[in-house]
């Protein structure tokens, strides 16, 4: 492959499909393998990043299961359901985007990637609505946090001593600390994902990728699916602890 600079006319023509090879790789396959492997190990670091928070969640939920149950009843189950649907759909569109790029269908790839980003943005919009409602109800941890009266009463009933009640009330707040923090970190990852997906879609549209951009989009797809998997665990852990209504 010996093309040097691209002139403007060449850019308008359907792009080359030979991928640019960095000097330190022997062939395109090696280069692609390295990128995908790198993304997988990066996802391993992300798993560990979330695992610290999941550990904190597990400990505190085990210490005060009732406080966590009561706390989760303040979550908006159906908004969360909708969001999970949206995110799963965005994973589908992302997978289809990867597939389209493998088949060299650039326009379709762009379309699917934009759809993915839009769905992701929808997720974030709903999340913002949820946050604002929770903040309004004094459920954001910190100086404005208030344990709702009926929950405080319920916790008082199951606490044997005043110290235990204090612990339970504290754990009620910790549930919200973890809720806001974990979903916040998740949302942060989504924002980064949406931005990069949009940038890649734009680059794809301009035929910027030397090949079909398959490796890059596949790597991005892996990241996106990972963020989806995290939510698959977060939804039941935070929203669906126990909706059966009675104990």
Partner 1 sequence: MSAPAIPSDPPADYLTDHTVKSWLLTGDHKRIGVLFLISVTIFFFVGGAAATLLRLELMTPKGDVLASADAFNRLFTMHGVVMIFFFLIPSIPAVLGNFLLPIMIGARDMAFPRLNLLSWYIYLIGGLLGIWILIFGGVDTGWTFYTPFSSMYSNTMVVTAAVSVFIVGFSSILTGLNIIVTTHTLRAPGMTWFRLPLFVWSHYATALIMVLGTPVLAISVVLVGLERIFRVGVFDPALGGDPILFQHLFWFYSHPAVYIMVLPAFAVVSEIIPCFARRPIFGYRFIAFSSIAIAIFSFLVWGHHMFVSGQSMYVGAIFSVLSFLVAIPSGIKVFNWTATLYKGSIRFDTPMLYALGFIGLFTIGGLTGLMLASLAIDVHVHDTYFIVAHFHYIMVGGSVMAFLGALHFWWPKITGRMYPEFWGKLSALLVFAGFNVTFLPQFLLGWLGMPRRYFEYRPEFQVLNVMSTAGASILAMGFLLPLVYFLLSLRQPRNAGSNPWGATGLEWQIESPPTSHNFHGPVLVTCEPYMYSPEEAEREYAHEQLVHHS
Partner 2 sequence: MANTETHIISVKTYLMVFVALIALLVATVVAAMLPLGALHLPVAMTIAVIKAAMILLIFMHVYYSPALTKIVSVAALLWAALLLTITVADYFSRGWLDILGK
Burial (CB count within 10 angstroms: exposed 0-12, middle 13-18, buried 19+), residue 105: middle
Distance CA 139, CA 75 (A): 10
* Distances from the Cα of 43 to the Cα of 6, 27, 140, 184, 220, angstroms: 35, 25, 30, 18, 11
Nearer to partner 1 by C-beta: 4 or 244? 4
Distance CA 122, CA 119 (A): 5
Binders of partner 1 in range 94-123 (CB under 8 A)? none
Six-digit token pair at 102?
Answer: 């493998």
User: Residue 236 interacts with partner 1 (CB under 8 A)?
Assistant: no
User: Residue 162 interacts with partner 1 (CB under 8 A)?
Assistant: no
The partner in contact with residue 92, picked from partner 1, partner 2, none with C-beta cut-offs of 5 to 8 angstroms by kind, is: partner 2
Binders of partner 1 in range 10-39 (CB under 8 A)? 22-25, 30, 33-34, 37-38
SS3 54: helix
Yes or no: say if 15 and 22 are a contact pair by the CB < 8 Å rule.
no
Nearer to partner 1 by C-beta: 10 or 107? 10
Number of neighbours of residue 5 by Cβ within 10 angstroms? 5
User: Residue 49 interacts with partner 1 (CB under 8 A)?
Assistant: yes
Separate counts of helices (H) and strands (E) for the chain: 8, 0
Nearer to partner 2 by C-beta: 159 or 214? 214
User: Residue 241 interacts with partner 2 (CB under 8 A)?
Assistant: yes
> What is the closest distance, in whole angstroms, from the C-beta atom of residue 59 to partner 1 in the complex?
6
Nearer to partner 1 by C-beta: 141 or 148? 141
- Closest Cα to residue 220, out of 103, 86, 109, 81? 109
Alpha carbons within 13 angstroms on the beta-carbon side of residue 31 total: 16
Yes or no: say if 91 and 225 are a contact pair by the CB < 8 Å rule.
yes
User: Residue 134 interacts with partner 1 (CB under 8 A)?
Assistant: no
Yes or no: say if 189 and 224 are a contact pair by the CB < 8 Å rule.
no
- Closest Cα to residue 217, out of 106, 122, 89? 106
Nearer to partner 1 by C-beta: 5 or 244? 5
Q: Which of 52, 157, 160, 162 binds partner 2 (CB under 8 A)?
A: 52
> What is the closest distance, in whole angstroms, from the C-beta atom of residue 110 to partner 1 in the complex?
25
**Residues that bind partner 2 in the complex, under the rule CB under 8 A:** 29, 32-33, 36-37, 40-41, 43-44, 47-48, 50-52, 54-55, 58-59, 62-63, 77, 81, 84-85, 88-89, 91-92, 94-96, 99, 102-103, 214-215, 218, 221-222, 225-226, 228-229, 232-233, 235-237, 240-244, 246
**Residues that bind partner 1 in the complex, under the rule CB under 8 A:** 2, 4, 22-25, 30, 33-34, 37-38, 41-42, 44-46, 48-49, 51-53, 55-56, 59-60, 63-64, 141-143, 145, 166-171, 173-174, 177, 181
């Amino acid at each position: 492959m010996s093309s040097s600079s691209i002139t403007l006319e060449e850019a308008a023509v359907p792009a080359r499909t030979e991928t640019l090879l960095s000097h330190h790789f022997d062939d395109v396959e090696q280069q692609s393998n390295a990128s995908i492997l790198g993304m997988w190990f990066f996802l391993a670091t992300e798993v560990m990043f979330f695992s610290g928070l999941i550990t904190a969640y597990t400990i505190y939920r085990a210490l005060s299961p009732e406080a966590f149950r009561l706390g989760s009843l303040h979550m908006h189950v159906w908004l969360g359901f909708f969001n999970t649907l949206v995110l799963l759909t965005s994973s589908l569109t992302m997978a289809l985007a990867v597939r389209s790029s493998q088949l060299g269908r650039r326009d379709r790839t762009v379309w699917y990637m934009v759809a993915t980003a839009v769905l992701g943005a929808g997720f974030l919009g709903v999340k913002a609505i949820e946050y604002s409602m929770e903040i309004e109800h004094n459920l954001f941890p910190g100086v404005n946090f208030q344990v709702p009266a009926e929950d405080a009463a319920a916790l008082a009933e199951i606490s044997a001593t005043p110290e235990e009640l204090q612990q339970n009330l504290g754990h009620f707040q910790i549930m919200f600390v973890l809720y806001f923090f974990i979903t916040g970190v998740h949302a942060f990852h989504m924002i980064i994902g949406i931005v990069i997906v949009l940038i890649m879609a734009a680059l794809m549209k301009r035929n910027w990728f030397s090949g079909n951009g398959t490796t890059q989009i596949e790597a991005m797809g892996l990241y996106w699916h990972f963020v989806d998997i995290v939510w698959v665990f977060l939804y039941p852990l935070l929203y669906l602890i126990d909706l059966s209504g009675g104990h």
